[in-house]
Amino acid sequence: MSGGAQHDPRALPADHLVVTDDAAHLTAAIACWMSDRLASVRGRAATIAISGGRTPLALYRLLASPAWRGSFAWNRLHVFWCDERCVPLAHPENNAGAAQATWLSRVPIPATHLHPVPELPAAQAAAQYDAQLKAHYGAQHLDANRPLFDVVLLGIGADGHTASLFPGDPALSARTWACAVHRPAPPDRVTLTLPVLASTAALAFVVTGKDKHEIVQRIAAGDTSLPAAQVQTRGERAWFLDRDAAGELA
């Protein structure tokens, strides 16, 4: 994102921006955007990397609803996770567990198409996840400048973190595909790194709530110190915001 003279401090760096006053419309807009991008993939399975936390849960529930579950070719989709908290799958903070409970266990997606971060201590989990990704794509794929993912869905924390990339954390400069993250307070985490998150045909940030408004404003103003502002994809960049998070942003 540029902080140059032409930069409008009320504008997010977006090819596609949706702001709604209504939570249900926002969720439906994300589902439509995402399904369009995944359905346009031809001749191979589509891949998505999804996030955890509370924000995407409404989307996951919608995708499992009778209205939506029939609209996807689930056997043509592979699901990866942008990050994970190192707690057991059944723990309420486990990102894969939450997505499976609300969405993926409720749709006919083959179990072999789910690629959660292994339930292991962070360093081992990151090494295994890194190896799994490279086995799926081929280790040279990232260097070949072809996007790894068709869609990446990211959230943003009120501190500007995205996936499990936190301000000032060494993981921001990691060049492995996945990386362990040790936080001052447990649990440890595993995250995809910046080059991997950026390697996507389409990337969406989904941000809701008043507590996120300040961080959204800082990103719009060009604050590149924030991890969420450092995901520099060459693909399409979309933002989905509720009015509380967006405020007066253009």
Strand partners, 115: 80
Instruction: Work out which of 29, 34, 52, 200 binds ligand LXAUTJHC, going by CB under 6 A.
Output: 52
164 touches ligand LXAUTJHC (CB under 6 A): yes
Name the segment binding ligand LXAUTJHC (CB under 6 A); options: 48-56, 100-108, 128-136, 226-234. 48-56
55 touches ligand LXAUTJHC (CB under 6 A): yes
Name the segment binding ligand LXAUTJHC (CB under 6 A); options: 1-9, 41-49, 132-140, 157-165. 157-165
Strand partners, 239: 17, 205
Look-up: residue for tokens 């894969």?
A: 96
Instruction: Work out which of 1, 29, 31, 53 binds ligand LXAUTJHC, going by CB under 6 A.
Output: 53
95 touches ligand LXAUTJHC (CB under 6 A): yes
Give the ranges where 7-85 is alpha helix by DSSP (H): 23-39, 57-63, 66-69
Q: Residues touching ligand LXAUTJHC: how many (CB under 6 A)? A: 13
Q: In the 3-class helix/strand/coil scheme, how is 67-82 assigned residue by residue? A: HHHCCCCHHHEEEEEC
Please state, in angstroms and rounded to a whole number, the distance separating the CA atoms of residues 218 and 230: 13
Instruction: Work out which of 10, 16, 25, 54 binds ligand LXAUTJHC, going by CB under 6 A.
Output: 54
On whether the CB atoms of residues 163 and 83 are closer than 8 A, the answer is yes
Task: Return the SS3 of 6.
Answer: coil
For ligand LXAUTJHC, the closer of residues 119 and 141 by Cβ is: 119
On whether the CB atoms of residues 79 and 115 are closer than 8 A, the answer is yes
* Residues of the shown chain interacting with ligand LXAUTJHC in the complex, contacts defined by CB under 6 A: 51-55, 82-83, 85, 95, 155, 157, 163-164
